[in-house]
Amino acid sequence: MAKVRPKKPSVATFGDYEMITPANELRKAVSEVADRDSDDPVARAEDALAQLSSEFSAWMDSESDRLDAVRRSIKSTGFNKTTRDALFRAAHDIKGEAATFGYPFVASSADSLCRLIEHTPEMDRIPTALVDRHVDAIRAIIREKARPDIVEIADALTTRLREVADHFLAHENRDRPDVLAGILTPPIAPSEQTV
């Protein structure tokens, strides 16, 4: 792929650091337009995403099946680095995609499972029964999305799962106060924002 190499940056040297200012090769893509310009690239992108949204339900089902498949492999082979990482990524992907796919109420359950996996110091001690409860809850919430009371059901399930998971994590990390403080610190970025 032929492309012109970037120009050399300017470098200012100070006592124990350098400040490097690369040539802004991307400035070529910026232009000034009148405020009344009606073209709205964000709206165009949102429209494009809306056209894709008919696929989201099937995508979420496949993510749910993927989570279940990893859970089953852990039941047969136990936790090892590969299966633990696969379970984490499957739950983490659901957490990240949930709102975009129209399932914002499942993100918290997936987040609770991520926390359980990430913050249990010894993977052999991750309770498979608690993993099962999380996976079953996530799958049930996805499956029952059309229920009028799904938000309340999801909230009740997640609250209980989170309580049990946090109780377990507090015990497992009782000798690691710094880790414990990090676990109990709320996230700083919004986690349930709709597109």
Chain residues that interact with another protein, rule: CB under 8 A: 1, 3, 5-6, 9, 12, 14-22, 24-35, 37, 39, 41-42, 44-49, 52, 59, 62-63, 85, 88-89, 92-93, 95-100, 104, 107, 114, 182, 185, 187-195
Work out how close the CB of 85 gets to another protein at its nearest, in angstroms, rounded to a whole number: 7
Q: How far is the CB of 194 from another protein (least distance, A)?
A: 7
Q: Which is nearer to another protein, 2 or 129 (CB)?
A: 2
Q: How far is the CB of 51 from another protein (least distance, A)?
A: 8
Question: Which lies closer to another protein via its Cβ, residue 140 or residue 183?
Answer: 183
Q: Considering the complex, state which of residue 85 and residue 149 has its C-beta at the smaller distance from another protein.
A: 85
Confirm if 12 and 19 have CB atoms less than 8 A apart. Answer: yes
Distance CA 148, CA 16 (A): 62
Query: Residue 26 or 129: which CB sits closer to another protein?
Result: 26
Q: Are 138 and 110 in contact (CB under 8 A)?
A: yes
What distance in Å separates the CA atoms of residue 54 and residue 101, rounded to the nearest whole number?
9
CB of 87 to another protein, least distance (A): 12
Neighbours of 142 (CB within 10 A): 25
Q: CB–CB of 9/21 below 8 Å? A: yes
- DSSP string of 81-115? HHHHHHHHHHHHHHHHHTTTTT-GGGHHHHHHHHH
Q: How far is the CB of 175 from another protein (least distance, A)?
A: 19
CB-CB contact of 18 with 12 (8 Å): yes
